[in-house]
Amino acid sequence: MLYLKCEKCGEVLKGRETTISLAIKGLEMIYLKSLFEDFCKYLDGKLRWTETKHKEWTDSILKFFSEKNKAEVIPYVEEFNHMMVDYIWRYNPERYSMFDIELAVEHEGQEKDITTLVEKEIQHLIDLKARNKVGIFYPRMGDEKEFIKKIKNRIASQSTAFKINDEKYLIILGYATTKMGKRAILFKGFILDQNGTLQEQMEQTILQKPSIKT
């Protein structure tokens, strides 16, 4: 068994054919756990749950991904509003012999109904061929367990003919909360594989943007 060590996070990875292939070609690999941690760190103190307008909130979310892309050694080609999803990274055909989508991001900040979210937003991610898919939502906390169950089932029901080997999903759920007496946001991250099986679960609490006193 061949093992590869990630230069970014130091994690030792069991060698799979697709992972080894990417490493040999020198392509950047995305680690969704690190992406979640960077996401939370970037948004810490930037958002106000009840006061930040929807467009400003979405712009802040997508700005994180755009700035992260610009920081890559070889940035991806980024596109906004691509085929029913908000944002994607794809390989630059001028540098690589492919135009595959490496990352797809869907953010929905207003819809709370979990059935609607699965049938529309999650289905948009499923329909798109991409190695890494990120969905960011704000359901009611009491619906979380059922929401994740529905997402797992919807992913599992997708025909294998339309899946990419080792494609993964990062589902991020946000909730208003408090931290040490201050307004905060709890983000929960769920990493699912191409069959909808839960691989890892994480959570971080960040502070909200301080209110402006007049």
**Residue 54 shares a structural domain with residue 158:** yes
Residue 175 is assigned to a structural domain of this protein: yes
How far is it, in rounded angstroms, from Cα 89 to Cα 153?
26
Count: domains in the chain? 2
The per-residue pLDDT for 132 is 96
Share of the chain above pLDDT 70, in %: 83
**Residue 7 shares a structural domain with residue 97:** no
More confident residue, 166 or 4: 166
Q: Is 103 exposed, middle or buried (0-12, 13-18, 19+ CB in 10 A)?
A: buried
Containing structural domain, residue 12: 1-29
Residue 212 is assigned to a structural domain of this protein: no
- The answer to whether 31 and 9 have CB atoms below 8 angstroms apart is yes
How far is it, in rounded angstroms, from Cα 150 to Cα 117?
10
Please give the average per-residue pLDDT across 62-67, as a whole number.
97
Residue 65 is assigned to a structural domain of this protein: yes
The per-residue pLDDT for 13 is 42
Q: Is 207 exposed, middle or buried (0-12, 13-18, 19+ CB in 10 A)?
A: middle
Residue 98 is assigned to a structural domain of this protein: yes
| Residue 170 pLDDT exceeds 80 | yes
Using one digit for the tens of pLDDT, what is the confidence trace for 100-140? 899 999 999 999 999 999 999 999 999 999 999 999 999 99
**Residue 51 shares a structural domain with residue 133:** yes
Residue 214 is assigned to a structural domain of this protein: no
The per-residue pLDDT for 164 is 80
**Residue 10 shares a structural domain with residue 46:** no
pLDDT band at residue 28 under the 50/70/90 scheme: low
**Predicted TM-score of the model (pTM):** 0.84
The per-residue pLDDT for 188 is 98
**Residue 7 shares a structural domain with residue 64:** no
The per-residue pLDDT for 161 is 66
**Residue 18 shares a structural domain with residue 40:** no
**Residue 22 shares a structural domain with residue 104:** no
Number of Cβ within a 10 Å radius of residue 213: 4
Residue 2 is assigned to a structural domain of this protein: yes
The per-residue pLDDT for 163 is 75
Query: If you average pLDDT over every residue of the chain, what do you get?
Result: 85
**Residue 63 shares a structural domain with residue 150:** yes
Handedness of CA 120, 62, 164, 148 (dihedral sign): negative
The phi and psi torsions of 16 (rounded to 5 degrees) equal -105, 160
The per-residue pLDDT for 166 is 84
pLDDT band at residue 46 under the 50/70/90 scheme: very high
Residue 213 is assigned to a structural domain of this protein: no
Share of the chain above pLDDT 90, in %: 70
**Residue 71 shares a structural domain with residue 13:** no
**Residue 163 shares a structural domain with residue 72:** yes
Please give the average per-residue pLDDT across 155-183, as a whole number.
89
**Residue 3 shares a structural domain with residue 87:** no
Please give the average per-residue pLDDT across 41-61, as a whole number.
93
**Residue 80 shares a structural domain with residue 162:** yes
